[in-house]
Structure 1
Amino acid sequence: MNLSFIKGQGTGNDFVLIHDPNAELNLRDSEIREICDRHFGIGADGVIIATHTAAANEVSHLLREEPNATWFMDYRNADGSKGEMCGNGARVFARYLLDGGFAELSDGSTLPIATRAGIKDITATVNGFAVDLGRWKVKSDEVLVHASGLSVPRPGLYLTIGNPHVVVTLASIEELEALDLTRAPVLEPALPSGANVEFVVLDDPLISEGVAGLTMRVYERGVGETKSCGTGIAASAIAIREYAGNTQNYWRVRVPGGQVAVRMFATEDGEHAGISGPAELSFSGSWLRS
């Protein structure tokens, strides 16, 4: 059968979006890998399956928390594994829902979506969308990161923001560019569910006109190096903020695919992090499913 899809990207983090409102497709992990293969498939960092939240057993309970979160962003990594959440993917998912007429987002309103990491609220911005990623948690464990291109392993800050991350600070752009991320970094100790690993270099000066700046590369769990990672961008800003005393709330993070803004803000249930940036749909087509 032919499977219709739309391709989209947010700062170069690209996705194949598939409409499956009643959760009938049951795509196998091997099929996800075929779709994401850049030589033999469509090519993408991941697949986003748009499903009615009520039809998805693993998240249908979230409708009790937010009845308006009628769409579930079923995110799959390029290797077929299920992802808890994807920050860039959430923005692209919002673009897909709005452009397809599946949802509406008026000025000042919020579009809630269901994810495996809970409800995420999306709002429109001048250049795209902003996603409230929710609360984060810094773990007490120190993780050593072995990466090709680094002469010695470096310590990383382990934190979660919907999904797990380890953030490593490097000394210079030259050191960042010397990394070989065609090979997966090795974490010591290994983490039960693995983690995305971000390598960051601070701007000098760090803060300009009230906004702190970073440059980042990322190795995504289940994917490899990508041009951007939304939750990883937020995790990088959170990590440096943690080191700097938790006083800086506005960040600008450059990645190979562009630039994303990060903001930390107070809510009734504690401090949240949000990201904002572009989201575009590139083309549509059909994939021959064997």
Structure 2
Amino acid sequence: MDFYKMQGIGNDFVFIEDFNNEIQEECELAKKVCDRHFGIGADGLVIVRKSDLANAKMVIINADGSRASMCGNAIRCFGKYVYEHKIVKDLKFSVETGDGVKEIEIILEKDKVKYVRVYMGKPSYAGADIPLVNMENLIGKEITVDGKTYKMTTVLMGVPHTIIFQENEEYDVIADGSKLEKLPMFKEGSNINFVKIIDKTHIRVDTWERGAGATLACGTGCSASVVVAKKFGLVDNIEEIFVKAPGGELVIEVLGDDVHMKGPAEVVFQGKITI
């Protein structure tokens, strides 16, 4: 099977094409190819398919075999992939995801893809959307787990993200994130983002992703973190906020209720894998 390995500021994915829907047991395939010792190694598997709703369809499966409805870094890589492989021809096109149809814009520099800009949709704090168990919302609420208190806000930004601002206490992404991901209040689990405000236009985000663990970047998590930081007045109410993740930087634009993400995507290598 032919594959491409791609990364978006350190969040890495294996890309394969399946235009005739021939792949069986795709969740098991994801676990195999994403294994960093016995496979290619990645945070997730991305399958490129035809769509009846958009110009192309993105299916993403986490490294542990669980399905994800949306991933910001993956969809930037997806945009670059389908453009450079001439699956789409225009600089603006649509992609079907598990979170609906997303609008993509390719930004060129000297005829090369420099950035991919993605319309991420509108955030929701509604407990039914996230979904939360018997909770109308989770906004600025203090939750104590194993004697440690966390002030948490959860928002749906394609997938559920819980935001914790690092103010007077430092958090460990692995130790704290793995503990909070599957709290009983989260019906389907939650990604956990630890956010540090650098200044009024810059923040840092470290993310524990459900199904993948601590990653070098999370596009939906960076988007959600900006949305919540704006809600609490922790950053300026301007369009562009710069977000630093361990793997690099993204630009998040909030235009009213609409969220856009802009950043790079790179091909790491290509090859064949026996399955």
| TM-score, shorter chain, exceeding 0.5 | yes
Give how far 1:288 is off: 0.8
Residues 218-237 of structure 1 aligned to structure 2 (within 5 Å): 218-237=207-226
Give how far 1:171 is off: 1.8
Which residue pairs with 1:59 in the alignment?
none
Q: Secondary structure of 2:273's match?
A: strand
2:177/2:192 contact within 8 Å kept: no
Q: Distance in 2 between matches of 1:73 and 1:217?
A: 25
TM-score of the aligned structures, taking structure 2 as reference length: 0.87
Residues 180-219 of structure 1 aligned to structure 2 (within 5 Å): 180-181=174-175, 184-186=178-180, 188-203=183-198, 206-207=199-200, 212-219=201-208
Whether 1:167 and 2:156 are equivalent positions in the alignment is no
Q: Secondary structure of 1:253's match?
A: strand
Q: Distance in 1 between matches of 2:106 and 2:39?
A: 32
1:91/1:131 contact within 8 Å kept: yes
Q: Distance in 1 between matches of 2:7 and 2:176?
A: 21
Cα-to-partner distance string for 1:95-145 (whole Å, 9 max, x where unaligned): 111111211134xxx211000100101112353111000111124225656
Which residue pairs with 2:45 in the alignment?
47
Whether 1:132 and 2:119 are equivalent positions in the alignment is yes
Q: Distance in 2 between matches of 1:165 and 1:238?
A: 11
Give how far 1:179 is off: 4.2
1:185/1:197 contact within 8 Å kept: no
Specify the code of the residue in structure 2 equivalent to 1:43: G
Equivalent position to 1:19, from 17, 21, 36: 17
Most deviating of 190-199 and 225-234:
190-199
- Identity percentage over the alignment? 30
Which residue pairs with 2:265 in the alignment?
279
Most deviating of 155-164 and 184-193:
184-193
Residues 241-260 of structure 1 aligned to structure 2 (within 5 Å): 241-244=230-233, 247-260=237-250
1:181/1:225 contact within 8 Å kept: no
Which residue pairs with 1:66 in the alignment?
none
Q: Distance in 2 between matches of 1:183 and 1:171?
A: 17
Most deviating of 242-251 and 187-196:
242-251
Q: Distance in 1 between matches of 2:145 and 2:269?
A: 35
Equivalent position to 2:100, from 100, 118, 131: 118
Give how far 1:22 is off: 1.7
Q: Distance in 2 between matches of 1:43 and 1:16?
A: 8
2:18/2:49 contact within 8 Å kept: yes
Cα-to-partner distance string for 1:156-196 (whole Å, 9 max, x where unaligned): 11100111110000126x825x5445961325443111111
2:173/2:214 contact within 8 Å kept: no
- How well do the aligned residues superpose, as a CA RMSD in angstroms? 2.2
Specify the code of the residue in structure 2 equivalent to 1:260: L
Specify the code of the residue in structure 1 equivalent to 2:207: V
TM-score of the aligned structures, taking structure 1 as reference length: 0.82
Specify the code of the residue in structure 2 equivalent to 1:175: E
Q: What residue ranges of structure 1 are gaps of 5+ in the alignment?
A: 55-62, 64-68
Most deviating of 127-136 and 188-197:
188-197
Number of corresponding residues: 257
Going from structure 1 to structure 2, the CA distance change for 1:78 and 1:144 (only over 3 Å counts) comes to: farther
